[in-house]
Structure 1
Amino acid sequence: MVSYPQLLMEDQIGAPGSGISRRDFVKASGLGGTVALAGCTAPGEVPTEESVDTSTTPAESDSDLPTTSPPEIVNVDEQGGEVTLSSVPAKHEAHPGGSMGGPVELPKVWAFKADDGEPSVPGPILRTTEGEDMEVTFDNTDGMRPHTVHFHAVQKQWEDDGVPTTTGIRIDPGQKHTYTIPANVTGTHLYHCHYQTHRHIDMGMYGIFRVDPKGYEPADKEYFMTLKEWDSRLNRQMAGMDASYDPRNRRPDTFTVNGKSAPRTLHPEDGSPIIVEQGDTVRIHMCNNGYMDHPMHIHNHRFQVTHKDGGKIPEAARHDQDITSIPPAGRHTIEFEADADPGIYLAHCHKVSHAMNGTAYPGGMITGVVYKEAMDTDIFKQLMDYAGYEA
């Protein structure tokens, strides 16, 4: 069994991964007080992917849709190699506050959830170990639309590829289906719905799964970072609002890291700050679940890209850099030492239009490297105000 720390969401501060405890955060920040918690189609019947029905149903139009939560890390090994996913109509607040061009909201998403967990965008991070099999059941019993689940990188049986037009398997409303996903390619990979892919990913049906190599040694701090751009016309159209979306004329207007737009990305519970201490070795698994390249730049640090798309880069081929461009569906793992003057440093997409909320700059695809030593400062408290953090 891998010995990396399994952090429960209720105990974790920072991006998904090895953050610090809520108690340590409050102590370090000097904020004090009590933290305010914010079946399938028969194989012989090859299904088609007709023009999507963009109408909403009364249930989907319900104004009482749940609000998404931050993605949780699910250790599938500890669950006997089994996990059940489902999709839940929800509303998604990328930045609910009024600062920096907010609020930024997607009024309708189709959020993955694992087992009895909370729906999230991106979906839960599924973590397993090399040599194991994951039995992933997609339960569409209470669903309203067909879906599938496709896993990148790993080699699996034809019927488990998750593409309805080539496998003959589509999970219709009222049905469920189990995929066998072997953990035979180590690294950080993606999963997503592969039915009407161009719409279902943009409705939030995407996530990360991680295959740790045997004997995996975690860094001092390890985080997952999922990048995504959105054309909110689709989400507004599916919410029954006056909007019209054309996938051939896609115009992204919302840019997120782990589902949030700056400054909400710096929120210690709802966002994804990279919290470090002086001298830490930091490992970040960056994944691009969007359809555009995102050149990610970290201020005041030099890093090395150690893995791309699950493949290890030989040490002789690595070099120090401060920006790496991640293509659609690409995954880059970077490592660096937290050796800068302890402070707060941006990590952001260097396409400036992606670092905006509407016409407001800064915003969008920005998060930050936050040194624990810098939390008890006035500028950090100001950033927490922008992010909407109450303590």
Structure 2
Amino acid sequence: MDDSLIGAPGSGISRRDFVKASGLGGTLALAGCTAPGDASTEQQMGNTDTTPAQSSDLPTTSPPEVVDVDEQGGEVTISSLPARHDAHPGESMGGPVELPQVWAFKADDGDPSVPGPILRTTEGEDMEVTLDNTGGMRPHTLHFHAVQKKWEDDGVPTTTGIRVDPGEKHTYTIPANVPGTHLYHCHYQTPRHLDMGMYGIFRVDPKGYEPADKEYFVTLKEWDSRLNRQMAGMDASYDPRNRNPDTFTINGKSAPRTLHPEDGSPIIVERGDTVRVHLVNGGYMDHPMHIHNHRFQVVAKDGGVIPEAARHDQDVTSVPPAGRHTLEFEADADPGIYLMHCHKVNHVMNGSAYPGGMVSAVVYKEAMDTDIFEQLMEYAGYEG
């Protein structure tokens, strides 16, 4: 049996332990099941108006992987390619929700993903990041937030004169001199390229870093699917000055797919765990994130550690565009399943179907053998 980690990217539990705890191995095959929601949502969202000729030849994105750049000698190659992105492929809760074309990042020989791969390194190390655009169709760059670097490595073509055209490669030297959780993205025609999926997390562990019992990376993003449909050659017109998001994702997925243990990003915990969640906003709207039945502290913002005297217990934190909030809490609640979601009601919908969109959950391992968890896995399309 595959013993890879499941849950949100980070330190989840093994698939073996998940099957043991839930008893769901090989028992579900209900990706098309129904769930609470509005059956007319597909027509209202317009996300599924694709034809085989427009999308069938594209690869489908995978969940983002964590790349330990230190283990690779401080070197990583990033490239981008068009892909189809299934935010929620099932019919439950207003699905399916699809972005018929995204521009996905991949690291080295890995799979393309939206968000892009999580690049993880250690304070004091330099990263050599090569943007490989040899197979590309349009110019790109890479811009890394927070860290101090040489002028020519800033990734902004307007001010550095450097862009990576189709057929070219370019290597950026990115010093890991600001510990914390950061963002990277394409900075060429940013309103379009970032909104097509060219963004990811850049994590710099401080020297002597002590991980929590459970540690997860979570990226928030809202999408105006007209852009994705336009880029797929469909009948849609997009204007960034009139941006109107209709798709809301956590690590690229919309609820209930967010709860899928392998394709989604549930926050899997065991009672007594210390839990650390790195929240990153890859979009252009604020997202007030709320966790049910737990009080957390925001221990870092945008790579800056918050002094203990300034921290306080809270249950909602609003993450601004490009913002990064690191939360810590104890898994001390009655073992169960507790929502983690944006508190803007239209952000937790798939079209007019509620709930959906930017919703995930803190899932206690101890609650995985319950009937309600099995029902949630059916909604999420988990096939065992």
Q: Same fold (TM over 0.5)?
A: yes
Match of 1:368 in 2: 361
Measure how far apart 1:33 and its partner are: 3.5
Measure how far apart 1:31 and its partner are: 1.2
Gaps of 5+ in 2: 32-52
Question: Structure 1: how far apart are the matches of 2:8 and 2:337?
Answer: 15
**What is the 5 A alignment of 1:109-124?**
109-124=102-117
Is 1:385 matched up with 2:340? no
Question: Structure 2: how far apart are the matches of 1:62 and 1:311?
Answer: 42
Report how many aligned residue pairs link the two structures. 361
Match of 1:94 in 2: 87
Describe the superposition over 1:159-203 as per-residue Cα deviations: whole angstroms up to 9, x where unpaired: 000000100001000000000000000000000000000000000
Question: Structure 2: how far apart are the matches of 1:12 and 1:315?
Answer: 32
Match of 1:339 in 2: 332
Measure how far apart 1:348 and its partner are: 0.1
Match of 1:321 in 2: 314
Is 1:17 matched up with 2:10? yes
Match of 1:77 in 2: 70
**What is the 5 A alignment of 1:2-41?**
11-33=4-26
Is 1:214 matched up with 2:214? no
**What is the 5 A alignment of 1:221-232?**
221-232=214-225
Q: In structure 2, which of residues 190, 193, 199 is the aligned counterpart of residue 197 of structure 1? A: 190
Match of 1:290 in 2: 283
Match of 1:49 in 2: none
Match of 1:273 in 2: 266
Measure how far apart 1:30 and its partner are: 1.2
Question: Structure 1: how far apart are the matches of 2:140 and 2:167?
Answer: 11
Gaps of 5+ in 1: 1-8, 39-59
Question: Structure 1: how far apart are the matches of 2:93 and 2:334?
Answer: 27
Question: Structure 2: how far apart are the matches of 1:63 and 1:366?
Answer: 28
Which secondary structure state, in structure 2, belongs to the residue aligned with residue 272 of structure 1?
coil
Question: Structure 1: how far apart are the matches of 2:192 and 2:3?
Answer: 32
TM-score (norm 1): 0.91
Match of 1:163 in 2: 156
Measure how far apart 1:62 and its partner are: 6.2
Match of 2:47 in 1: none
Contact 2:144–2:185, Cα closer than 8 Å, also in 1: yes
Measure how far apart 1:34 and its partner are: 8.2
Tell me the C-alpha RMSD between the 2 structures. Answer: 1.4
Which secondary structure state, in structure 2, belongs to the residue aligned with residue 199 of structure 1?
helix
- Alpha carbons of structure 1 residues 153 and 10: separation in structure 2 relative to 1, 3 Å: farther
Is 1:65 matched up with 2:58? yes
Opposite residue 304 of structure 1, the aligned amino acid is Q
Contact 2:28–2:378, Cα closer than 8 Å, also in 1: no
**What is the 5 A alignment of 1:165-184?**
165-184=158-177
Describe the superposition over 1:318-353 as per-residue Cα deviations: whole angstroms up to 9, x where unpaired: 000000000000000000000000000000000010
Describe the superposition over 1:103-151 as per-residue Cα deviations: whole angstroms up to 9, x where unpaired: 0000000000000000000000000000000000000000000000000
TM-score (norm 2): 0.92
Question: Structure 2: how far apart are the matches of 1:10 and 1:96?
Answer: 25
Opposite residue 7 of structure 2, the aligned amino acid is G
Question: Structure 1: how far apart are the matches of 2:298 and 2:223?
Answer: 26
Match of 2:295 in 1: 302
- Alpha carbons of structure 1 residues 62 and 317: separation in structure 2 relative to 1, 3 Å: closer
